[in-house]
Structure 1
Amino acid sequence: MFDWENIRHFLAVARIGTLSGAARKLKVDHATVSRRLSALEDEVKTRLVERLPRACKLTPAGQRVFELAQGMEENAYAIERFLDASLSPLSGKVTLSAPPVLVASFLVKHLRAFRLAHPSVQLSVSGDARQVSLSRREADIALRLVRPDEATSVIRKLGRMPFDLYASRDYAHLHNPSAWEFIVYDAGFSEMPQQKWLMSVANGRPIACEISDITGHLAATQAGAGVAGLPRFLAQTSANLQRLPHDGESFSRDIWMAVHRDLRRSPHVRAVMDFLLKIVAENPDFMTGG
């Protein structure tokens, strides 16, 4: 029998294409990935990966092993999900992935309340903008601003996150909309819905600066750098920001919750899901209808 840990490390190398990238993904060092890969090749007595100077390339045998190993991986994770779902009520660890802005400015404020309500459930929260795989146990529950499409997931819309225009109360052009200068995202985010909305509202008015993350937008707005489109719940935490009326359309992002179908009835996972539903519904800066 093959060592599953060796196969798990091989799968990471095959997907990412570098030893260093696989090491970061698995949260181990470069040497561990290299050692595990060599151990698997010794077990199968076949070269699976060509180690090039800047990348790793699968050999024909490696490609076939990769295809077969993905089935082994899914079965291994299915066993984990089955065992997790069989745990005693309200005990265990639950991994939650959510957009960084929801983690840093919303979820962390409720962790104490969750801990008091469920002391036997350990909640591990990851602020992650990318789409995680629930099938590969990259998370147990995922919150996303785009409707998840993983076939094995059960999804539910929690509500909507409204955006508005904001500026610092001492912004030089606060009361002169024609002179507003906008804080927007950089070109890498040109297809993001809030960037499209913001550019339509700007409608040719000057761009003050481009910042790649929403927390940077908040800080720049607080500093008086210009006008930004911010989630209402985020802007409301800052007393020196003022919401600005505008002629453009209103805008919001849907908040979706996804869980693997094998875990949706697990008591400790269910406790986290119910808690997320509750705190979103109770926040007046989110919309839960429609």
Structure 2
Amino acid sequence: MFDWEDLRYFSAFVASGSLSAAAKSLGVDHATVARRIASLEASLNLTLVDRRPRAYVLTEQGRRVGDFADQMTTSSFALEHFASAGQAQVEGQVVLSAPPALLGSLVARSIGELYSRYPRLRLQLVGSKSRASLSRREADIAISLTRPTQPTLVANLLGHLDYRLYASAAYLRSADRQRFIGYDESQAKSPQQRWLDQQAGGRPLVLQSNDLRIQAQAAAGGVGIACLPAFIADEYGLQTLGDTAQSMSIEIWLAVHEEARNTPRIKAVTEFINATVKPLLRL
């Protein structure tokens, strides 16, 4: 019989794609992950990875075992939430993943109200550009800019977030309106960046960052024009450029695993998000 902990470590390796990434997610060193994988191979009498000089590569047997591990992780996740769904007390940890700008400006500043109602609740806020996997338990709840497609997730549209062109008052008073601030290559294909490129008319970006707040800070410093949502632009005293009707919008989605949605602590947080974040968006 294999050790369940060995399987958990192997599952983390399969999900992350490397020993170092798996070690980071588990809070251990990569040698421990390698040892656990070797132990699982010995227990199952299977070769799960091809040990190459610079990386571990999954074998066909490893991929199959990875699929089984994923199914077992999903089942254990469902069992845990089935057991806790009958508890009346709202307590324990909830991991919420969302884009950093939304997490900071729309969620974090209102959490005091949530804690006043549920003092035994504990939140972990994970700022992530990409949606964390709810199936692999990287998060319990996710706010994302695209609609989730996994069949095991329950998703609802929180609303639409409008983006416009903003700059500092000093920059708008200047004759130069040719400098633009935008995302780096990691977000080059995002709807916001594509729209900004159209507005820039082929002019190169003078500053690039994958962090929306850094873009806003640069705009506030007079660097140029940025594509921002109003809640961030207002924080930095930025002014809309030209016609206020000139804008683009993206959808904001709230997702939770179907097996977890009725767990008291998960339900309390999703209801809080619907009550506090949804009114700040355009329906």
| 1:82-161 to 2 correspondences below 5 Å | 82-161=82-161
Q: TM-score, normalised by structure 2?
A: 0.91
Shift of residue 7, structure 1, vs aligned partner: 0.4
Q: Measured at CA, do residues 254 and 17 of structure 1 come closer, stay the same or move farther in structure 2, by a change above 3 Å?
A: closer
Stretches of structure 2 that go unaligned for 5 or more consecutive residues are none
Number of the residue aligned with 1:238: 236
| 1:1-290 to 2 correspondences below 5 Å | 1-171=1-171, 173-174=172-173, 176=175, 179-205=177-203, 207-239=205-237, 241-246=238-243, 249-283=246-280, 286-287=281-282, 289=283
The ranges of structure 1 where at least 4 consecutive aligned residues each deviate by more than 6 angstroms after the TM superposition are none
2:277 is paired with a residue of what secondary structure?
helix
State percent identity of aligned pairs.
40
Q: Measured at CA, do residues 249 and 206 of structure 1 come closer, stay the same or move farther in structure 2, by a change above 3 Å?
A: same
The 8 Å contact of residues 78 and 260 in structure 2, kept in 1 or not, is answered as no
The 8 Å contact of residues 18 and 54 in structure 1, kept in 2 or not, is answered as no
Hey, what's the Cα distance between the residues in 1 that align with 2:60 and 2:174? 66
Shift of residue 157, structure 1, vs aligned partner: 0.8
Amino acid at match of 1:222: A
**RMSD of Structure 2 on Structure 1 (CA):** 2.1
Q: Render the CA deviation track for 1:190-223: whole Å, top value 9, x for unaligned.
A: 3210011111122234532222221221121111
Hey, what's the Cα distance between the residues in 2 that align with 1:217 and 1:192? 15
Q: Measured at CA, do residues 263 and 61 of structure 1 come closer, stay the same or move farther in structure 2, by a change above 3 Å?
A: closer
1:166 is paired with a residue of what secondary structure?
strand
Hey, what's the Cα distance between the residues in 1 that align with 2:209 and 2:180? 11
Shift of residue 71, structure 1, vs aligned partner: 2.3
Q: Measured at CA, do residues 76 and 247 of structure 1 come closer, stay the same or move farther in structure 2, by a change above 3 Å?
A: closer
2:269 is paired with a residue of what secondary structure?
helix
Hey, what's the Cα distance between the residues in 1 that align with 2:231 and 2:223? 20
Q: TM-score, normalised by structure 1?
A: 0.89
Q: Render the CA deviation track for 1:95-123: whole Å, top value 9, x for unaligned.
A: 11111111223322112121112112212
Stretches of structure 1 that go unaligned for 5 or more consecutive residues are none
Hey, what's the Cα distance between the residues in 2 that align with 1:156 and 1:210? 32
The 8 Å contact of residues 46 and 61 in structure 2, kept in 1 or not, is answered as yes
